[in-house]
Structure 1
Amino acid sequence: MNPQTPRRFLPSTAVLAAFEATARTGSMTLAARELRLTQSAVSRQMKILEEQLEVELFIRERQTVRLTSVGESYAREIRDALHKISTASFNLHANPSGGTLNLAILPTFGTRWLAPRLPRFLAANSGITINLTTRLSYFDFRSESLDAAIHFGQPEWPGAEMALLRSEQVVPACSPGLKRQYGFRVAGDLRKAPLLSISTRFHAWDRWFSVHDVPARTAQGMVFDQFATAAQAAIAGLGVALLPTFLIQDELASRKLVRAINLPMESPERYYLVWPSERAKYPPLAAFREWLVAETAPDRSS
């Protein structure tokens, strides 16, 4: 908070908690019961808050209250702020001598590549706790309580810094049975089979056909939001999926999946670790960044 901001714009946490409970339940009585206060105490706190802000937050109707339009907007922001305070306090309590890194991950990259390697990082940094949450697209670090994110795409993220992690090679993969059924021999043969697509990479098949000098065909098959589910669909024989080789090594080794045709393609995008500039020196992030960049060094150009 800017030190020049008048103190009346910073109500006490107790008052804000009472406001959030009243706004959520639509009742000062229910809010009082939840907070273990008297109804009159909650009522006084709401009057204090409205006088402090010089804004009417509630419309009072007999035994109930409902938010004004400005009250609804204020309630949403206060709820988010209280959640951030609660999360920060919980993380400090859970790990007072270390630190907590809140990291957004791409689902399949996180579960198949990152998670198996995390024990090595945690063993070398025993005071750090990592909380993982999945994200599939850009978000605003200012509105989410996240210290960093794993990003796939171009090196562009407004208001953030990033470190290159690795490149990616994709290959058409399918079940052994589907390969026998279609007898794929050249790139153009794939145009006859169902093509499984990823919603965030909808033009990947067009690019693959173009790279291998084959006229593109509109992908006719199922669409998925994650590689993991696309891989399972390919294993089930539902079509050919264009999958990163480093994420399906186990399936290829066990022959649950095979290369429909051995024509890989280098993706033009890359994987990055992204973080807001103001968090760059945060010790858990700095330690994780150093470890992750070293861990991915052999894959930078593979």
Structure 2
Amino acid sequence: MKLRQRRFLPNLSLLMAFDAVMRNGSVTGAAQDLSLTQSTVSRLVQSLEAQLGQPLFIRHRKRLVPTEAAHRYFREISQALDQIQRSSMSLIANPDGGSLDLAVLPTFATRWLAPRLPAFLSANPGVSINLATRFKAFSFDAERFDAVIYFGHDDWPGAVHVKLFDERVTACASPEFLRQHPVERAEDLHDLVLLQLETRLSAWTDWFAGQGAAAPPVRNGMLMDQFSMMIQAAISGLGVALLPDYLARIEIAEGRLRPILRTAVPGTGAYWLAWPAARQGLKPLEAFRGWITARIADEFSDAIPGAEG
């Protein structure tokens, strides 16, 4: 294993002083955060600059004005300090286990994943899962995540992919809404408010095609950024929701929504679990992958567990 060069590994106290000055925008605030004197913080910053051979601040009327290089360095160093802190916390909390930092879609996480996680944690004592929501693609190099659950195709850059399930969609509305607006054929929806997710702009067109009908030429609709918001809007009678079938089944079973015409129409994408190749073999990730693919295979008849990369 190649030895790390100490010249490029400043002492942690130097990095924390620099980080505190950047976060607070002043030596005074940094000194208060670190319980140090202002002169000590200033000396630590000067020592860091000397070790790097680069000025990080411009001294102006007793103020430190960060250079553009300092801003770049801060973005990367703050992520590294966060990772050190998380790793230390994980080791203290789970000395014999491990943790998995997982990015998830918010409604999938709250409505499907979270209710089932206790079973995973019970079967994998010592393993912890940290969840954070993400709507859009990100770089594993820039973010701290070990893996992501996302909707789309197997095209996450530089990642290994496992398909969880293909999306199927079901149109549904509240019982009261359907009493006021009976639907017997797809064309009956043309004059109704159609609720739509802003990341699924072709979804209603695909649904109408699945019913053997044409979509309305001019659509009366509302755009939303989360399925949870769409569900509540439909329950409140604002219009017809087009939901992934796994979500629609939950609301239908609980009586809040009713399905419309043909259900579980094939969509245009799938749900995937992806992770960077560098995380391959991470024990918490392997445990989670095995559990979620098995669980989905039990609940989704079209689940296709297996790796693609």
2:159 alignment counterpart: 160
Q: State the Cα distance separating 1:144 from its structure 2 match.
A: 1.2
2:273 alignment counterpart: 273
The letter for the 1-side match of 2:269 is E
| 2:15–2:77 Cα contact (<8 Å) kept | yes
The letter for the 1-side match of 2:167 is E
Say whether residues 1:260 and 2:260 are aligned partners: yes
Stretches of structure 2 lacking an aligned partner (at least 5 in a row): 304-309
Q: Distance in 2 between matches of 1:157 and 1:250?
A: 29
2:80 alignment counterpart: 81
Q: State the Cα distance separating 1:196 from its structure 2 match.
A: 0.3
Q: State the Cα distance separating 1:116 from its structure 2 match.
A: 1.3
Instruction: Report the CA distance shift for 1:228/1:52 in structure 2 as closer, same or farther (over 3 A).
Output: same
SS of corresponding position for 1:45: helix
- Give the TM-score normalised by the residue count of structure 1: 0.93
Q: State the Cα distance separating 1:145 from its structure 2 match.
A: 1.1
| 1:153–1:271 Cα contact (<8 Å) kept | yes
Q: Distance in 1 between matches of 2:291 and 2:191?
A: 45
1:288 alignment counterpart: 288
Q: State the Cα distance separating 1:184 from its structure 2 match.
A: 1.0
| 1:205–1:219 Cα contact (<8 Å) kept | no
Percent identity, aligned pairs only, is 46
Q: State the Cα distance separating 1:26 from its structure 2 match.
A: 2.9
2:173 alignment counterpart: 174
Q: State the Cα distance separating 1:72 from its structure 2 match.
A: 2.1
Instruction: Report the CA distance shift for 1:82/1:228 in structure 2 as closer, same or farther (over 3 A).
Output: same
Q: State the Cα distance separating 1:245 from its structure 2 match.
A: 2.2
2:246 alignment counterpart: 246
SS of corresponding position for 1:167: strand
Say whether residues 1:21 and 2:12 are aligned partners: no
| 2:103–2:131 Cα contact (<8 Å) kept | yes
1:301 alignment counterpart: 302
| 2:102–2:130 Cα contact (<8 Å) kept | yes
Say whether residues 1:225 and 2:225 are aligned partners: yes
Deviates more, 1:227-236 or 1:256-265: 256-265
Written as runs of structure 1 = structure 2, the 5 A alignment for 1:1-302 is 3=2, 6-217=5-216, 218-298=218-298, 299-301=300-302
Q: State the Cα distance separating 1:137 from its structure 2 match.
A: 2.0
Deviates more, 1:207-216 or 1:18-27: 207-216
Deviates more, 1:82-91 or 1:285-294: 82-91
Q: Distance in 2 between matches of 1:300 and 1:293?
A: 12
SS of corresponding position for 1:143: coil
Give the number of equivalent residue pairs: 301
2:307 alignment counterpart: none
Q: State the Cα distance separating 1:15 from its structure 2 match.
A: 0.1
| 1:187–1:214 Cα contact (<8 Å) kept | yes
The letter for the 2-side match of 1:49 is L
Deviates more, 1:233-242 or 1:133-142: 133-142
SS of corresponding position for 1:152: strand
The letter for the 2-side match of 1:198 is L
SS of corresponding position for 1:248: helix
SS of corresponding position for 1:222: strand
| 1:162–1:275 Cα contact (<8 Å) kept | yes
1:126-154 CA-to-partner distances (Å, cap 9, x unmatched) read: 11011111112211111111111112211
Stretches of structure 1 lacking an aligned partner (at least 5 in a row): none
Deviates more, 1:92-101 or 1:258-267: 258-267
The letter for the 2-side match of 1:11 is P
- Give the TM-score normalised by the residue count of structure 2: 0.91
1:220-267 CA-to-partner distances (Å, cap 9, x unmatched) read: 222111111101101111000111222132321232101133354112
SS of corresponding position for 2:195: strand
Instruction: Report the CA distance shift for 1:255/1:27 in structure 2 as closer, same or farther (over 3 A).
Output: closer
Q: Distance in 2 between matches of 1:285 and 1:177?
A: 44
Q: Distance in 2 between matches of 1:268 and 1:200?
A: 12
1:137-176 CA-to-partner distances (Å, cap 9, x unmatched) read: 2111111111111122112211111112122321110011
SS of corresponding position for 1:243: strand
SS of corresponding position for 2:229: helix
Q: State the Cα distance separating 1:19 from its structure 2 match.
A: 0.7
